[in-house]
Amino acid sequence: AGITLLPVTDIGPETAILLKEKLDNGEWVAIVGDRIAVNPQRGGDWRVCWSPFMGQPAPFPQGPFILASILRCPGNL
């Protein structure tokens, strides 16, 4: 048993496959999702989910939630 860390620079389609394999093997996947883009995406969208945090609305990136949906696993904040 141990911890496997995947740096942000190494994330691509193959990463989703690796994460799916880990989930299928009963392993846990944690994504540090406290960073949002510095600039909005095309069309001015920020691609964030707003959620209460320490009594105030706070933006969290949509990516981890979209990935959880694709991998059919729970996504928790």
Asked if the structure places residue 28 within a domain, the reply is yes
Question: Can you give the pTM of this predicted structure?
Answer: 0.73
Task: Give percent above pLDDT 70 in the chain.
Answer: 99
pLDDT, residue 36, reads: 78
Evaluate if residue 77 carries a pLDDT over 90: no
Evaluate if residue 50 carries a pLDDT over 70: yes
Domain that holds residue 59: 8-71
pLDDT, residue 70, reads: 92
DSSP letter for each residue of 45-73: ---EEEEEETTEEEEEESHHHHHHHHHT-
Asked if the structure places residue 3 within a domain, the reply is no
Average pLDDT rounded to a whole number, residues 29-49: 79
Asked if the structure places residue 27 within a domain, the reply is yes
Asked if the structure places residue 61 within a domain, the reply is yes
**Structural domains in the chain (count):** 1
Asked if the structure places residue 77 within a domain, the reply is no
Mean pLDDT of the chain: 85
Asked if the structure places residue 76 within a domain, the reply is no
